[in-house]
Amino acid sequence: MKIISNQKVWLLIGVLSLSACSSLGVEPWERDKLAKKEMLPNSAPIDAALDDHIYFSKEASSGGRSFGGGGCGCN
Amino acid sequence: MQLTDKKNVKALLLTATTTLLGTASVQAAETKADEWQFDTALMYYGETDRVTAVEAIIAGSKQFGNDEILSLKLTVDTLTGASANGAVAQNTPQTFTRPSGKGQYQIKAGETPLDDTFKDTRLQLTGQWTQPLTERDIWSIGGNLSKEYDYFSAAINSNIARDFNKKNTTVSAGVSFAFDQIDPEGGIPNAFHTMLIGDVDSSNFASDFDATRKESGDDKTTVDLLLGLTQVINRNMLVQLNYSYSASSGYMTDPFKVLSVVDQQGISQTYLYENRPDSRKKHAFFGQVKYHFDTTILDTSYRYMMDDWEIDSHTVDTKYIIPLANGHTIEPHFRFYTQTAAEFYKPFLLEGQVIPQFASADYRIGEMDAMTIGMKYGIPLSDGEHLSFRIAYYQQSPKSDGTQAVGQLNDLELYSKVDAIMAQISYSF
């Protein structure tokens, strides 16, 4: 069985963390577009839940956006 | 809908949901019903010649005075139809014993063996409580219960999120613990035991069948960790990056799946029940970009997953929201998925060879590409209500992992495509 190296994982976590750059962003009064419901990261949670349930039961991967699904013995 | 009718429907749904969830949200039920927001959806999923599923969701959420949010969700789904049992197609008809031991089914020459026994109804309840802890910290706790005829699952989760940099950066961490129990009718087959195929009407068939199986069910536990970062880039763009780790331990074999053992001519000799490892560790990296153009919004995400079963997968998912002149929206959707096979995936076993420690012929852990093309049409209604229709076409294309076919298997379809249609109506009020 393949062992995933810890260094590889930590390197990726490090890269993800570094991308939080404090020079990015907007002032509160510039949030007109960002404040829309459609701009939420998960703007259609019901659609996402239905899709996740299908893909969880038909493919070998799950999660990513949120916790890895499950809760069914789906065939 | 009249406003009073709407209140009545909300009150009814609220009563139903809180009754199902016990007394935990009695306090919530006593508040004004029209402060609740409900999202409902009905989805149909149908594969050509295989599984058909119908799933209904009612989700309600309410915001309280100090920005606490209670979310409750009820999901009901039913599943009927046929699922690939793992055996290979043959030039001659094949007979299989049903997983319950009660009866058999025949597969025509040249066809992928499908077990048409599947029929199940699932009920799932989800609850989540979210509240601010400080000016910039949000905490959340939730749970999930799911029950179907032969399967039970319970999970709890907790998350914490902190805002930085004028709320342009949000860092979050979460943990989830899940317990799953499977108890199939007819019990769990012993690993690599031969499927008993004889005269099901004979007096000793039932006891012979029982001898191939464990009487009790089995279970597994899963721990998930999720680290997230959301970053506002500018007035039009935000980015989400997640890392998740999942460790499962326990029974992960599919008790309904077998492997064909074939001779050098590719002729099936026996069918063996599959066996998978009792441990799986997954890492997933997820990135999402949302970009607001002048009027349209592009939502693109990518996920890379790898696990210690040697499955690697890539998923790209894109939606594009286009507002129309009449206020409606149209939203094309495209998804592409590809995965490598688990190291123990075997489309079949060869007679005379040593049986490996683990093996499964389930195409869902084999090499595969999949594609989804869909469209959503949204109609905003008065008073904040919203109606939408969604339709999608999903195609799975299983592929050879390089295993050399033998004899007649060279001329038979070992990796048949699966086509499915999804249709959904959603209504929010």
Q: Write down the pLDDT at residue B109.
A: 96
> Which residues, listed in sequence order, are joined to residue B72 by a DSSP beta bridge?
B60, B127
Closest CB from B229, B233, B370 relative to A16: B229
The residue with greater pLDDT, A75 or B271, is B271
Q: A50, A52, A57, A62: best mutation site toward chain B, by most B Cβ within 10 Å?
A: A50
Given a cut of 60, is residue A2 above it in pLDDT? Answer: no
Rounded to whole angstroms, the Cα distance separating B269 from B212 reads 18
Are the Cβ atoms of A61 and B286 closer than 8 angstroms? no
Nearest to A67 by CA among B253, B156, B304, B370: B156
Q: How far is CA B300 from the centre of its chain?
A: 21
Q: Which residues of A touch B169 (CB under 8 A)?
A: 20, 22, 24-25
Q: Write down the pLDDT at residue A24.
A: 86
The helices-and-strands tally (H runs, E runs) of chain A is: 2, 0
Distance from CA of B284 to the nearest CA of A (A): 6
Interface of B with A in 267-286 (CB under 8 A): 277, 281-286
Given a cut of 90, is residue A69 above it in pLDDT? Answer: no
pLDDT in tens, B250-274: 999 999 999 999 999 999 999 999 9
Q: Write down the pLDDT at residue A59.
A: 95
Q: Write down the pLDDT at residue B320.
A: 98
Nearest to B88 by CA among B98, B96, B97: B96
> Range with the lowest mean pLDDT among A56-65, B133-142, B271-280, B327-336?
A56-65
Are the Cβ atoms of A67 and B226 closer than 8 angstroms? yes
Give, for B178, the enclosing helix (H) or strand (E).
Answer: strand B169-182
Q: Write down the pLDDT at residue A16.
A: 58
Q: Write down the pLDDT at residue A66.
A: 87
Q: Which residues of B touch A11 (CB under 8 A)?
A: none
Given a cut of 90, is residue B5 above it in pLDDT? Answer: no
Judge contact between B49 and B114, C-beta under 8 A. yes
Closest CB from B55, B166, B426 relative to A25: B166
Q: Write down the pLDDT at residue B202.
A: 87
Share of chain B above pLDDT 70, in %: 92
Judge residue B162's burial from the number of C-beta atoms within 10 Å of its C-beta, 0-12 exposed, 13-18 middle, 19 or more buried: middle
Interface of B with A in 310-339 (CB under 8 A): 310-311, 313, 315, 321, 337, 339
Judge contact between B391 and B422, C-beta under 8 A. yes
Nearest to B155 by CA among B165, B146, B168: B146
Please say whether the structural domain B85-117+135-379+393-413 has been given the CATH code 2.40.160.
Answer: yes
Q: Binning pLDDT at 50, 70 and 90, where does residue B35 land? A: confident
Judge contact between B177 and B221, C-beta under 8 A. yes
Predicted-assembly ipTM surpassing the 0.85 threshold? yes
Rounded to whole angstroms, the Cα distance separating B145 from B21 reads 10
pLDDT in tens, B292-337: 999 999 999 999 999 999 999 999 999 999 999 999 999 999 999 9
Given a cut of 80, is residue B403 above it in pLDDT? Answer: yes
Q: Write down the pLDDT at residue B330.
A: 98
Given a cut of 80, is residue A75 above it in pLDDT? Answer: no
Q: Binning pLDDT at 50, 70 and 90, where does residue B20 land? A: very low
Average pLDDT, integer, range B50-74:
95
Rounded to whole angstroms, the Cα distance separating B25 from B3 reads 24
pLDDT in tens, B341-372: 999 999 999 999 999 999 999 999 999 999 99
Given a cut of 60, is residue B102 above it in pLDDT? Answer: yes
Judge contact between B338 and B314, C-beta under 8 A. yes
Q: Binning pLDDT at 50, 70 and 90, where does residue B30 land? A: very low
Q: Please count the CA atoms within 13 angstroms of the CA of A56 that sit on its side-chain side.
A: 19
Q: Which residues of B touch A1 (CB under 8 A)?
A: 277, 308-310, 343
Are the Cβ atoms of B231 and A32 closer than 8 angstroms? no
Are the Cβ atoms of A68 and B246 closer than 8 angstroms? yes
Given a cut of 90, is residue B9 above it in pLDDT? Answer: no
Q: Binning pLDDT at 50, 70 and 90, where does residue B200 land? A: confident
Average pLDDT, integer, range B193-202:
88
Closest CB from A49, A58, A60 relative to B313: A60
Average pLDDT, integer, range A31-42:
94
Given a cut of 80, is residue A4 above it in pLDDT? Answer: no
Residues 6+ apart with CB under 8 A from A31: B235
Share of chain B above pLDDT 90, in %: 83
Instruction: Name the strands in the sheet holding B268-273, side by side, starting at the edge strand that comes first in the sequence.
Output: B268-273, B258-262, B349-350
At B193, is the secondary structure helix, strand, or coil?
A: coil
Sequence ranges of the domains in chain A: 35-59
> Range with the lowest mean pLDDT among A29-43, B4-18, B384-398?
B4-18
pLDDT in tens, B150-173: 999 999 999 999 999 999 999 999
Q: Write down the pLDDT at residue A17.
A: 58
Nearest to B34 by CA among B18, B12, B66: B12
Sequence ranges of the domains in chain B: 85-117+135-379+393-413
| Chain B CB within 8 Å of residue A20 CB | yes
Judge residue B292's burial from the number of C-beta atoms within 10 Å of its C-beta, 0-12 exposed, 13-18 middle, 19 or more buried: buried
The residue with greater pLDDT, A13 or B45, is B45
Closest CB from A34, A38, A66 relative to B232: A34
